[in-house]
Chain A
């Protein structure tokens, strides 16, 4: 193992690890209850909005031709992006055997699952006839009709579907041994529940033998997946001929953005959570420092991508492209354009300084900026590009309404609700992986060969 890792190896004994993590379950702390309450309230706002959308139609939202996609798709892409950091940390860093992922990966993985769950709602929310969304699935029907596999939207359906399934599986598989550990600590009805969830795990050598191997392959599969999913999402735009969408760098650009926003969200979630659940000694500056470095990397990639978009627009000599990008910076939506550039390209550069990378308060504030910035990135790409298309006479600028914000708020509520409930019910820190890092006691003195 590398030096850093050795220095930051957890200091507790196996027994302490189990104790501390099990202690987080079923927390009653006020902070937690408040957060949960807020989340549910937000969710209800969204639910109500959705009911009204079903009743009266999407006209309630601020849609304005030619801006036929707006806040909903923006939020969709935003949540898909959030998911990516989780898989990156849990799968890719697992393959790279990087030690600092251990303490945080369970939380980020949960974040992934719930973020993708949230994103998965939007294709349904945003279509005009929500009640026939299943027509997008290839199922045998009396009409003999199949969906159009040439449509990027169908790629989306498959990509998001796969991503949700795989990341959920990955999370559950990782959870089983920990649930078993919890099972053996708790009593009463909770024991029954956990027994059920632990799928008869005993930690026998045979189970471990297949488990470790299988987990490795899951990680190996999740890695290309995480790269593909946001590429596919980016192709929803890149495959079209809308000036401002029609870009070849979209796939890497979006993937970087996704991870950037995802890590941002990890900060936003973990910083309060570790306080509420008293995990400060398990999730430490050391972890945030590394996460921040990741943010710096992806943020810089975004910086490059933004610059490159403008360069290509200018260099291509295509009038429509040039107009679109000019208007992004100086058009009616200049404020959104600059929000995105400042929050993403510039703010991320602060992480060159270790002082900031390890200052929890600073990290939290910056992470908020990152979330805002990344939401606006999608907003700008979608709304401002559509608003200034090929035919000037048909131009139009969006003005969102309560229905847009209602759904946006609801999506946050929906996500946080699940995340908080998860944190309360399952080990938010991976017990067995931490134990794996802690050397077991030996009767003979001296390390093992």
Chain B
């Protein structure tokens, strides 16, 4: 190969090798020395100088997130050629600039201590030994060569060039490819097929809706693209100049989505279809301008009366009517098909909701079919593969990017069936539940280490590129397939691309050609720089009712067993289908609803708990016909009294040190037997047995009640429209001091401040401040992970969380409202970080000035000066100061996790206090940049990690002294208030009160 093509083949790989541990910027363990004074002894320069790599300066690459099928685009921040932070790509129509907690935690997949060092082969005795890639590929080639057409591939990869290659590869062999993703919307697609005659997943325009009705569907957590949904939700449901959509949630459990509803109604599990149909009936019978062909449904719907629905759901008939009318009188959107409420009647339910949307004229408006959302083959396909396996008709099984042994109920016996395959290959980069049964493990490269692309939505073609040298000796599965193809030849000889990168570029050159772009290199560089191609989404297809629409109906879904409680497993918004379970950032990021970390738990309604006489933390055993599990109880008002709920995602038999043996797998109680090609999660009844053993819950929640202290303020929509302040809503703030006293106090304060014009405090300075809009904040906790990533916050582990020692600088406080003696139950969330008070109580008590106030209004904490008296922590009314009780970074950051550390932030040593710094390293960095360019700092040039990550745009950061800045203006909002204002600590964080619909009807 000529040097030129060589450049072509492997651009930047060697330009992207990161400095070895002793690097100038102190990468790796060296970075842990943080607040102590150990120093780096060796200087290791780059081998080859690189124009876009200056040590000490961040380099950004565009890439794509693979933590869930949503396909959010990334900007990867690298320093000294190692990825240190993931942020959203502002150009992406899916996630804009924001990113969820799971996406950001992708980094801990990249640097996961559990990653395999190389390929492994299982010996006869079941133990694994390391082999070379050459051996591994030879082995695989031999197996494939001899297997003929009995090669089956199980892949969780999304639509994209890799999947296309896989299809070609398997196709050439005559084998079968099963594309399986755990949360695959099978029911929704089946329902769409039935009602609209097309089996694809539409786009849901939450942003356009004025009334959102969710049937137990957690669209803010795991349903479809969480970030995309949340951005839309914030747009419509976030209060802005007199407008705010109403969100009603019907379901047996108040999940994060339910917490963000203006109304939550605990309906009986499995009753959603009939409720939807009853509403459709109400609408259709009361409303003229329904779509023409909707009329044909009248006869069918007439059967579904609110009264009947009420009996099924426990929801009052008038409530059903009221909601239906509100639904019809707004530009509305109803969603169904959430995993948490996927019972055996899920298809009916989705169909019913389709009808509801249709009769309200939402289809084509807020529900748009573009055919852009790719889906996998569904659970049905997996079942047929399982039977193939069972019949021993599979010679070679290749499992890629999927973990069926964990994500499929044990009751289906998938593991045993898999064992019947002649030869099993896994491409997992961590020994997960499935890989630990494979004969050959060929660790794939992490998405940030390899070339790839995805087509996650209409008009989006997202690219991935290696942003750094592989952390471990993995190999891109694409390359492996091609190499096998070369070795095997024969049927595979058609696949002659020298590498997957070449294959990818070939396909993209076709795209370029199709777009009439002649110079591919320019096109390619643009595409790489932008992170792919983001085209205008095509207009939606015109969708009409299909014949199947008339076959809608309702019969009560069946539940296995005769236990007294319906068992409701639900996907965890942090762990998703379980792939998050090996990432400490996600394990320690409290569940947004229960605020529990690192553990599995069983949710019980207070009445249920009382009747059973169990308390929080008591370990109970749940038994269903399919199995049993033991987990501690969490008493939660937001769960239907007849239901016990448990999150999915834990209970791995293998998957690295963090996941293995942690918690329980809720699927153990569920059967795989289903109705129609999907896995019915909500299909078992359980009996509950007390063990009288107790386990302390690792939860960050102290007392869930506000005790009337006005921490998380909220106001009715009506009040907000009238421009009332939170104080006015409470009946006005009563001043205890007289006029003259108030003046005197203010005057005295001023006099004090005038004396502060000394030293660095002379002259004009910015005053950094923040505004948090509680009307937008959903509590999704993306900001928490962003803070961990940006500020080198150590995770502390289950036991330390139990002792209340979590270090999370950003804490989402979740408060319960009402719920007692009949009044409606609701929750409020308030992000709590250092308030950077002007009269900070923590500062004067520090004997050594470790806590002090900077000229630009920051409450600074000088780690290396701190002696650790912790007086500041005691005196902080917001309790946002966190103390290094033990040497957490040294104890917990196992290799190669330290490679992720941000070199601009000191790693705190044992015995010092730390807290939110308003991302001072970003401020100082921007100030340096501005100074180098001899210009003042512009508003918006610097923002905090939390604000940057927030999908709802609930956080605004900037200079309060600059009257033109966004933050200064937002702080003027009539909803603005300060938490614990009476203490006169003058926080720099202004909260905008939450706005709630209700009381209008």
Contacts and interface: CB of A to CB of B under 8 A. Distances in A.
A150 B849 CA distance: 10
Interface in B823-846: 832, 841, 844-846
Instruction: Tell which of A56, A136, A150, A392 has the most Cβ of chain B within 10 Å.
Output: A392
A203 B887 CA distance: 60
A58 interface: yes
Given A240-B875, A396-B804, A319 B883 contact: no
A241 B837 CA distance: 14
Contact of A148 (B803, B844, B883): B844
Given A66-B873, A152-B845, A153-B847, A394 B879 contact: yes
Contact of A65 (B867, B878, B879): B879
A396 B703 CA distance: 8
A171 interface: no
Interface in B908-931: 909-913
B26 to A, nearest CB: 21
Contacts of A57: 884-887, 910-911
Given A390-B980, A392-B702, A153 B849 contact: no
Nearest to A149: B847
Name the residue among B702, B875, B884, B910 with the largest chain A CB count within 10 angstroms.
B702
B832 A64 contact: no
Contacts of B869: 123, 126-128, 153
Nearest to B912: A128
B844 A392 contact: no
B736 to A, nearest CB: 9
B847 A128 contact: no
Interface in B704-724: 704-709, 711
A128 B867 contact: yes
Interface in B857-881: 865-871, 873-875, 877-879
Contacts of B449: none
A148 B867 contact: no
The CB with the most chain B CB atoms within 10 A, among A57, A239, A391, is that of A391
A145 B865 contact: yes
B873 A390 contact: no
B704 A129 contact: no
A241 B867 contact: no
Nearest to A153: B847
A42 to B, nearest CB: 26
Q: Which of B811, B815, B910, B912: most chain A CB closer than 10 A?
A: B910
Nearest to B909: A129
Contacts of B701: 393
Contacts of A64: 803-805
A236 B844 CA distance: 12
B868 A129 contact: yes
Contacts of A69: 870-871, 874
Interface in B947-1001: 980, 983, 985
Contacts of B887: 56-57
Contacts of B813: 391, 393-394
Nearest to A242: B874
A15 interface: no
A147 B849 contact: yes
Q: How large is the interface on A (under 10, 10 to 19, 20 to 34, 35 or more residues)?
A: 35 or more
B92 to A, nearest CB: 34
B482 to A, nearest CB: 52
A386 interface: yes
A154 B885 contact: no
A66 B879 contact: yes
Nearest to A320: B709
A136 B845 CA distance: 12
A152 B847 CA distance: 8
A123 B868 CA distance: 11
B865 A151 contact: no
B912 A148 contact: no
B705 A392 contact: yes
A324 to B, nearest CB: 11
B479 to A, nearest CB: 46
Nearest to B985: A241
B848 interface: yes
Nearest to B711: A391
A39 B811 CA distance: 46
A7 to B, nearest CB: 52
Given A57-B886, A396-B702, A391 B877 contact: yes
A150 B848 CA distance: 10
A135 B848 contact: yes
B882 interface: yes
Interface in A379-438: 386, 389-396, 399
Interface in A100-128: 123, 126-128
A323 B703 CA distance: 12
B253 interface: no
B847 A136 contact: yes
Given A391-B711, A391-B879, A59 B886 contact: yes
Contact of B849 (A145, A320, A389): A145
A157 interface: yes
B189 interface: no
Contacts of A68: 870, 873-874, 883
Contacts of A78: none
B870 A128 contact: yes
B605 interface: no
B704 A393 contact: yes
Contacts of A242: 874-875
A58 B702 contact: no
Given A57-B885, A58-B885, A64-B804, A241 B912 contact: no
Interface string A150-182: 111110010000000000000000000000000
A69 B847 CA distance: 16
Contacts of B848: 135-136, 145, 147-148
A150 B852 CA distance: 12
B846 A151 contact: yes
Contacts of B709: 319-320, 390-392
A52 B164 CA distance: 60
B814 interface: yes
Residue among A147, A242, A394 with the highest chain B CB neighbour number at 10 A: A394
Interface string A232-244: 0000100111100
B847 A395 contact: no
B809 to A, nearest CB: 13
A211 interface: no
A63 interface: yes
B868 A127 contact: yes
Contacts of A217: none
A150 B804 CA distance: 30
A395 B705 CA distance: 11
B865 A128 contact: no
A133 interface: yes
A440 interface: no
Interface in B220-275: none
B879 A127 contact: no
A355 B216 CA distance: 75
B883 to A, nearest CB: 6
B805 A59 contact: yes
Nearest to B807: A65
Nearest to A236: B871
Contacts of B849: 145, 147-148
Contacts of A56: 886-887
A132 interface: yes
A128 B863 CA distance: 12
Contacts of A389: 877, 879
The 7 closest A-B pairs by CB, nearest first: A128-B868, A128-B911, A395-B702, A59-B885, A59-B886, A392-B703, A394-B879
18 contacts: A56-B887, A63-B805, A66-B804, A68-B874, A127-B867, A128-B910, A128-B913, A129-B910, A148-B848, A151-B845, A152-B845, A153-B847, A240-B871, A240-B874, A242-B874, A320-B709, A392-B703, A393-B703
Given A68-B873, A319-B707, 8 more contacts: A148-B847, A151-B847, A241-B983, A391-B702, A392-B705, A393-B703, A393-B711, A393-B815
